[in-house]
Amino acid sequence: MLTVDAVDVFIQASHILRSVSLSVGPREVVCLVGRNGAGKTTTLRTIMGYLRPRAGGVEFRGQSIHGRRTHEIAQLGVGWAPEDSGIFADLTVAENIEIATWTRPGGRPAAERIELAYRVFPMLRRYAGRKGPELSGGERKMLSIARALALDPDLLLLDEPFEGLAPAIIPAVSEGIAAITELGRSILIAESNIHHVPEDIRRLYVIERGAILFAGGLQDAWRERGVTPARWRPDTMTLPLIPTAVVGSHGKPGWWFAGVKAYERGEFGPADLEEMFDDAVHAAVRDMETTGIDIITDGEVRRLDGYVDSYYAIIKGIEPVTVRRKAGPWGYDQQTRYEAIGRIETPPGGLGIVKEFESLKAHTTQHTKATCAGPLTFGSRIHPGKVYKGVVDVAERFAEVINQELRALVAAGAEFIQIDEPARGNVSGEEMARLFNLATDGIGVRLGYHICFGNRFGRSRFQRTYEPYFPGILKSRAHQFVLEFASREMAELDLWKTHGDGRELGAGVVDVKGFAQDTTEDVAKRIRRVLTVCPAEKLTVNPDCGFGWSPRYMCNQKLAALAGGAALVRKELQGRR
């Protein structure tokens, strides 16, 4: 029925799928298994026509479909339930299901197809009048599959149908998929957790780094050397209770600054700079691993000045404006600002964040986090000029740019991505959430949201309070909020107690703005206070912000205190169990 033959797919300059081949026969259930970022979603999106292969082909019922548009493929009888559900938020459950019958008219009557969708997922019948935002994550998943079933497809593509679901809802989704199987429909499931793979599947494919490692039966896969559950789902490797993480940047070695100056004077060429960057990443990773940090970054050491300044230098459609004050003590009014003179575009290879992440993965086997500035961060220093209507339009354009960058990050294997945004004060929590959701639309990995007061030269830029942003900011799809507490003497912890909403908290328990050394006991004391408003199972501890404006030795001392304080509290908690 479906044949994917030696498909190669590129996203921007990244080679994502490498000669991927698989097949699904009539009435077969086939599973494509791999970790987040291995290429599962890219494979399904290629089948559906969202992406076109550079080599190889896709056939459905003997017809080549890799050159067809998505709606044409759907009309041929291929249903699609994406990882993020993709339901229409403004439509009710009933309307979402009905709309599928318009896409592929003919065949069985629409009423019969709608009734079948409700029969497979009876819970949805009770919620027929509810709109998307009123549904839980599990209910949205069921609706997405029900809508695809109402298309009356011969083949269903289900992307991560169990991802992020509460344990109580998983049986209902499993029963629905089993019911679809009994109807004789062919199904291709993309899944990252081996425990969710149906036992009666006909065939299983294991994908890693865009290439098929294994094809065969489920039991054969367990016995195959080199193909293990840990390879399929690395994020099942356990993090400790209350894991430690960094926010982003790391204290740079003195030779990093000397190298940048040499490059600016023309004494370093591009190859010299690249060599220095590689060494700096190695040093940052070694520091984080040595001090005992559980979730690390590349230290953002490839970003030459500040956080987004290096990106402004390569973004097209903007030009710098004159800095009005250059003399005297440094202030945020001395940052270079820009004006839009054309459509904002990135170079063909993107902003380079994917390259940063790939370099990080080449230097470590630990849990990692990729960081990316958000649309407000990128847009805050760009005047709309005559090209854009206002600052909101600029931010929305950057949300599109960031979304493409994040998709490439996921394709490169990123499993945890943090978006960094400023607490500007003049932007509501709801608007911040809207822009975050635009930037992360369709991104199915764990998402962090760092709300920053500013830290250039150790100075804050905005009023240091989160109160104006809650509860509106909770409308974002972030899994974790990374917030600053230590430098504010742990103020506003009560906000999390009131509005935490069961989300994860990345609590800042190390003061990056203060030059005084945090001790292990200082950090432990702060963690104990955070535990009064956030359960340990939902807590990650980190510095307040990045260490990019701190001396390297001080950064390492503070990271060691972070790891030590977390270990102390962890021991206390485990001792009580």
Quick: pLDDT tens for 174-188. Answer: 888 888 888 889 999
- pLDDT (tens digit per residue) in 229-250: 444 443 434 578 899 999 999 9
pLDDT 10s digits, 71-100: 999 999 999 999 888 888 889 999 999 988
Helix, strand, coil fractions of the chain, as percent rounded to 5: 40, 20, 40
For the entire predicted model, the pTM comes to 0.63
Residue 367: count other Cβ atoms within 10 Å of its Cβ: 17
Looking at residue 391, what is its pLDDT?
85
Question: What confidence score (pLDDT) does residue 236 get?
Answer: 37
Mean pLDDT of 213-241: 61
Residues in Cβ contact with 207 at an 8 Å cutoff, skipping those fewer than 6 apart: 20, 32, 33, 34, 38, 39, 40, 43, 213
Residues 6+ apart with CB under 8 A from 328: none
The per-residue pLDDT for 208 is: 84
Bridge pairing between strands 211-216 and 203-208? antiparallel
Residues in a beta bridge with 480: 448, 504
List own/partner pairs for 259-265 with CB under 8 A and 24 or more apart: 260/304
Banded pLDDT at 106 (limits 50, 70, 90): low
Summarised one tens digit per residue, pLDDT across range 341-383 is 999 998 888 888 998 999 898 888 889 999 999 999 888 889 9
Beta-bridged to residue 244, according to DSSP, are 541
Reply yes or no on whether the pLDDT at 523 is more than 90: yes
Rounded distance between C-alpha atoms, residue 333 and residue 336, angstroms: 8
Q: What angle do CA 354, 358, 360 make, to 5 degrees?
A: 115
Question: If you count DSSP H runs as helices and E runs as strands, how many of each does the chain have, helices first?
Answer: 19, 21
Please choose, from the candidates 554, 547, 550, 549, the residue with its C-alpha nearest in 3D space to the C-alpha of residue 508. Answer: 547
Residue 151 has which token pair? 């298309």
Residue 199 has pLDDT above 80, yes or no: no
Other C-beta atoms within 10 Å of 343: how many? 10
Lowest-confidence pick of 154-168, 482-496, 508-522, 562-576: 154-168
At residue 533, does pLDDT exceed 80? yes
367-368 and 295-296 strand pairing: parallel
Radius of gyration of the chain (CA): 25
Domains and CATH numbers, the chain: 2-234 (3.40.50.300)
Question: For residues 486 and 329, which has the higher predicted lDDT (pLDDT)?
Answer: 486
- Does the structure show a pLDDT above 90 at 60? yes
